[in-house]
Amino acid sequence: MDKIIVRGGTPLSGTIPISGAKNATLPALAATLLTDQSVHLSNIPHLLDVTTMLELLGQHGSAITVDERLGVEIDNCQINNFLAPYDLVSTMRASILVMGPLLARYGHADVSLPGGCAIGSRPVNLHIEGLRAMGADITLSGGFIHARAKRLHGARIHMDPVTVTGTENLLMAATLAKGRTFLENAAKEPEVVDLANFLTKMGARIQGAGTSTIIIDGVDTLHGTRHRIMPDRIETATFMIAAAVTGGDVILTGTSGEFLALPIRKLQEAGLILEDDPSRESMRVRCSGRLQGVNLETAPYPGFPTDVQAQMLVLNCIAEGASSITENIFENRFMHVSELQRLGADIQILGNVAHVRGLSKLHGAPVMATDLRASASLVLAGLAAEGETVISRIYHIDRGYERIEEKLLALGANIQRVSG
């Protein structure tokens, strides 16, 4: 199993490109199932989760051509298998996103129940209840969700709590339903809007994406199109924090601060200097002097993203002063804390709050990655720490960060991946 070895202490400097967003790519790939015409998606990140979704589509019968320029052409005119098996769904929960499209277009989907995961129990009851409200007959047996429908119909669906993939699944299903669907308390995440834009290019009739009520007027068929996936705001924030914790000066290209208002405000409060040039799709971030710890709590968009919580905790660990981070989305998303403590971090967990006392230094140690964003936080901690940090179970990071060690190497980090 691969490990990453980081020797900390080098301020990052240079320019790196930000990849397309994982969490916009996965629903877009699933959405291609809604048409039998060819669809081209560009700016696709080269990630393990994307490979898993392509493998799942391949099992359904999709013909997939990947080009050298981060593009993928998908032709779904021969879908013949409606099963999403346990081995794929258990490696990647977002596999559940094929349920809405398969059901809406073919009236048939058998999707393995995802089960719990490293960051919490993560039920999918809202996906199921929403599809039921649209007329689907859904049974659970043998660890599978069996969904059937002649044709889905429009419905008024209220989701509580706000769910990102739940909103996406129901949004996709509603595009081919008969009549009008209202998705209330819908997720406002930019990735939901990216999906809605893509579906609209396919001929869907959608209003209100990016607000808490999305209205969809179902159509009979959708058609092929081309779509460019938005930049990854979580990767962007992760590299901004990498610049901050190493006292670096980094230019991020192919991205902007457009969807990161609150993380940017918090980073500026902590001492990061930012120059955003949306016209050029690039951002310069730099930092000198001691960071200041910041308090924050995670919330659905436009709140502070839970996917940046672990990285921000690292910043607080080496910043001046006491600070607290509250995790409101997932009940078990502090698995990285015990690993950060191995590097000397002073963190105390009380309920869903991490209380941090900033130290001037962390010290390298062997640590273990537990989930995607936790792994990213350990890499950041290693970059900031004195000495050597060896991170094992690094496969988690390949699910969501494209060539992270190559990008960091290009910024001058002392980092290497070793096998075994």
* Contact status, residue 180 vs residue 154, Cβ threshold 8 Å: yes
Q: Which one from 77, 117, 287, 317 is the annotated catalytic residue? A: 117
* List of residues 6+ apart from 312 with CB closer than 8 A: 241, 263, 266, 294, 296, 304, 325
Options 19, 23, 175, 246; binder of ligand EPU; rule CB under 6 A: 23
Site for ligand EPU, residues 399 to 418, rule: CB under 6 A: 400
Of the two residues 171 and 372, which places its CB atom closer to ligand EPU in the complex?
A: 372
Of the two residues 57 and 319, which places its CB atom closer to ligand EPU in the complex?
A: 57
Options 123, 210, 366, 387; binder of ligand EPU; rule CB under 6 A: 123
* List of residues 6+ apart from 279 with CB closer than 8 A: none
Containing 126, the helix (H) or strand (E) segment is: helix 125-133
Bridge partner list, 63: 75
Q: Is 330 in the site for ligand EPU (CB under 6 A)?
A: yes
| Secondary structure string (H, E, C) spanning 297-355 | EECCCCCECHHHHHHHHHHHHCCECEEEEECCCCCCCCHHHHHHHHCCCEEEEECCEEE
Q: Is 259 in the site for ligand EPU (CB under 6 A)?
A: no
Options 58, 142, 161, 278; binder of ligand EPU; rule CB under 6 A: 161
| Type of residue at 418 | V
Of the two residues 94 and 177, which places its CB atom closer to ligand EPU in the complex?
A: 94
Smallest distance, Å, CB 94 to ligand EPU? Answer: 4
* List of residues 6+ apart from 218 with CB closer than 8 A: 152, 153, 154, 174, 175, 176, 177, 178, 179, 180, 181, 205
* List of residues 6+ apart from 125 with CB closer than 8 A: none
Options 5, 16, 34, 164; binder of ligand EPU; rule CB under 6 A: 164
Options 60, 127, 286, 336; binder of ligand EPU; rule CB under 6 A: 127
Site for ligand EPU, residues 79 to 108, rule: CB under 6 A: 93-94
Of the two residues 27 and 364, which places its CB atom closer to ligand EPU in the complex?
A: 27
Smallest distance, Å, CB 52 to ligand EPU? Answer: 11
Bridge partner list, 296: 325
| Type of residue at 190 | P
Q: Is 126 in the site for ligand EPU (CB under 6 A)?
A: yes
Taking contact as CB under 6 A, which single stretch among the options 105-113, 125-133, 147-155, 274-282 is the one that binds ligand EPU? 125-133
Tell me the two tokens of residue 361. Answer: 């230094």
Options 1, 69, 80, 125; binder of ligand EPU; rule CB under 6 A: 125
Bridge partner list, 146: 110, 139
Describe the strand order of the beta sheet including 249-253 as a list of residue ranges.
Answer: 13-17, 249-253, 282-286, 273-277
How far from the centroid of its chain's Cα atoms is residue 391's Cα? 21
* Contact status, residue 24 vs residue 191, Cβ threshold 8 Å: yes
Of the two residues 159 and 291, which places its CB atom closer to ligand EPU in the complex?
A: 159
Options 5, 26, 313, 383; binder of ligand EPU; rule CB under 6 A: 26
Q: Is 194 in the site for ligand EPU (CB under 6 A)?
A: no
Site for ligand EPU, residues 226 to 245, rule: CB under 6 A: none
Site for ligand EPU, residues 266 to 325, rule: CB under 6 A: 306-307
Options 165, 246, 311, 323; binder of ligand EPU; rule CB under 6 A: 165
- Quick one: DSSP state of residue 404? H
Containing 40, the helix (H) or strand (E) segment is: strand 39-42
Q: Residue 384's closest CA among 330, 325, 328, 313?
A: 313
Count, residues near ligand EPU per rule CB under 6 A: 24
Of the two residues 186 and 287, which places its CB atom closer to ligand EPU in the complex?
A: 186
Query: 117 an active-site residue?
Result: yes
Other beta carbons within 10 angstroms of residue 318's beta carbon come to 25
Of the two residues 198 and 330, which places its CB atom closer to ligand EPU in the complex?
A: 330
Smallest distance, Å, CB 45 to ligand EPU? Answer: 12
Taking contact as CB under 6 A, which single stretch among the options 32-40, 136-144, 163-171, 353-361 is the one that binds ligand EPU? 163-171
Give the binding site for ligand EPU (CB under 6 A): 22-23, 26, 93-94, 120, 122-127, 161, 163-166, 306-307, 329-330, 372-373, 400
Would you please indicate which residues are annotated as catalytic (active-site) residues?
Answer: 117
